[in-house]
Chain A
Amino acid sequence: EAGVTQSPTHLIKTRGQQATLRCSPISGHTSVYWYQQALGLGLQFLLWYDEGEERNRGNFPPRFSGRQFPNYSSELNVNALELEDSALYLCASSSSDYTSSYNEQFFGPGTRLTVL
């Protein structure tokens, strides 16, 4: 069974540009989560999508946005890139019953975004 996949592996942008990151969940999973792992800041929750709807977002500015498509894949968009947006962006997926606290999240390998 294929795991969570993310593309691209690496992305290099300049300040002010827009970045688009993509994630495909495990087959059968309808929830997709995005996390940022920045040097010195640890792993922080960005966004959660379930059944095409945004369910929750972390403490990030509105220039971080995303969407979930009917096939449950997801896209993270970062507008007006700043140098501090340089980080590893991790996508995770889980089954749809988000009322269960024990559903584990399966992580993809991440997209390394570098902003110059």
Chain B
Amino acid sequence: AQSVTQLDSHVSVSEGTPVLLRCNYSSSYSPSLFWYVQHPNKGLQLLLKYTSAATLVKGINGFEAEFKKSETSFHLTKPSAHMSDAAEYFCVVRGGSQGNLIFGKGTKLSVKP
């Protein structure tokens, strides 16, 4: 069965400093992995997705994630945080042919001025 574990429930950074949101996955086969962001009182927006074409995936708003099979990790990074990045981030794995997405518990990112 597929699952994801987000290692931090809350991350706080200062504006202009790097962001690292950690995610480990468990899958019996090559997983389909995604990062979604949810701003307060808004729906979910896809940041990026791993499609097995490349291990380093670039997403929107300067975010990227690296798929590391040996570490079963898919951490999300951004070189320089912006105030508008404050939101909740979800690491997600697709439930195989079952269609549904399996969400991590989320990491709330706070950005201090």
Contact = CB atoms under 8 A, between A and B. Distances in A.
Given A101-B94, A102-B49, A56 B99 contact: yes
Q: Which 9 A-B pairs have the closest CB atoms?
A: A45-B100, A101-B32, A43-B103, A107-B44, A107-B43, A109-B43, A48-B99, A102-B51, A56-B98
7 contacts: A31-B99, A42-B103, A43-B90, A48-B99, A55-B99, A98-B99, A107-B45
A55 B106 CA distance: 26
Given A42-B106, A45-B95, A101-B32, A90 B100 contact: no
Interface residues of B, number: 24
Nearest to B30: A101
B101 interface: yes
Interface string A71-113: 0000000000000000000101000001101101111111000
Identify whether the interface residues of A are mostly helix, strand, loop, or mixed: strand
Main SS of chain B's interface residues?
Answer: mixed
A109 B103 CA distance: 17
A47 to B, nearest CB: 9
Nearest to A102: B51
Contacts of A16: none
B102 A104 contact: no
B46 to A, nearest CB: 5
Contact of A106 (B42, B46, B96, B106): B46
B105 interface: yes
Contact of B97 (A44, A99, A105, A107): A99
Interface in A32-80: 33, 35, 42-45, 48, 50, 55-56, 58
B99 A104 contact: no
Nearest to A49: B99
Contacts of A33: 99-101
Given A42-B106, A101-B94, A110 B99 contact: no
